[in-house]
Amino acid sequence: MNERGLVLVVTPHPDDAESQAGGTIARWVVEGREVVLVVCTNGDKGTGDRSISSQALMKTRQEEQLASSQVLGLKEVVFLGQPDQGLEDTSEFREKIVRQIRLHKPHILLTVDPNRSYLRHRDHHFAGRVALDAVFPYARDHLAYPQHLAEGLEPHKVAEVYLWGSDEPDTFVDVTDTFDLKFRALYCHASQVGPPTANGERRMRARLSKAGEKIGSELAEGFKHIQIMRG
């Protein structure tokens, strides 16, 4: 693995990546990798507060995402602006993800596992499914979205994929040293998780400690790992 290869994170909503992979993202940044976050939806429906409009919520969640990304030290945040609860497996959406892959040329793509059993958010399913299809074969093949060539965007082969939220994780990343960054980044999303509390920290540590047991560490995050290219 190229230890300094760029990581492209494709998240359905603001806060999903921090919740499920924030410690890993923080660790990769500490190790010297550049990380670009692609936020698929505008998050304008994720609230139980009837006093806030969709437009105001969208603005709030974008501001929260930018604050969280500063905590994690991300290189860039890309907002695709798709409607919350509105992702579909379309050529137009896929082109947006392929474009980001060809633009940033990541070694690793990190996204949500689209195959979670039973109850799942449709946006999660389609974000993960389209991101995987974008990796293979679309971003690889020059005849897929050939308009990119005219813009100077060449095909790109992603080497590895990490999927969070998998029913069968097979790779665990030690996040003991980056837990505090994960916690701080997640709680930037106050509209979703409220203010940070000691009880919230305990619950998060308890969840991550179960994954940590898999590799003999205090805290870990688990993923399904797909090796596409070696070397």
Q: Extract the tokens encoding 162.
A: 């990490």
Report the pLDDT value the prediction gives residue 187, as an integer from 0 to 100: 97
- pTM of the predicted protein model: 0.95
The closest alpha carbon to 131, from 229, 10, 43, belongs to: 10
**Dist CA 173 CA 59 (whole Å):** 33
Report the pLDDT value the prediction gives residue 190, as an integer from 0 to 100: 95
pLDDT tens figures, 56-71: 999 999 999 999 999 9
Report the pLDDT value the prediction gives residue 150, as an integer from 0 to 100: 96
**Dist CA 3 CA 86 (whole Å):** 36
Task: Quickly count: other Cβ atoms within 10 Å of residue 161's Cβ.
Answer: 22
Report the pLDDT value the prediction gives residue 198, as an integer from 0 to 100: 95
Q: CB-side exposure of 202: number of CA atoms within 13 Å?
A: 3
The CATH classification of domain 7-227, taken from the options 2.60.120.10, 1.10.10.10, 3.40.50.10320, 3.40.50.300: 3.40.50.10320
Name the CA dihedral angle for 43, 45, 47, 48, rounded to a multiple of 10 degrees. Answer: -170
Report the pLDDT value the prediction gives residue 229, as an integer from 0 to 100: 75
Residues in the chain, pLDDT under 70: 1-4, 230-231
Report the pLDDT value the prediction gives residue 164, as an integer from 0 to 100: 98
Residue with tokens 């998060």: 204
- Does residue 142 sit in helix, strand or coil? coil
Q: What are the residue ranges spanned by the domains of the chain?
A: 7-227
Contact indicator for 196, 183 with CB cutoff of 8 Å: yes
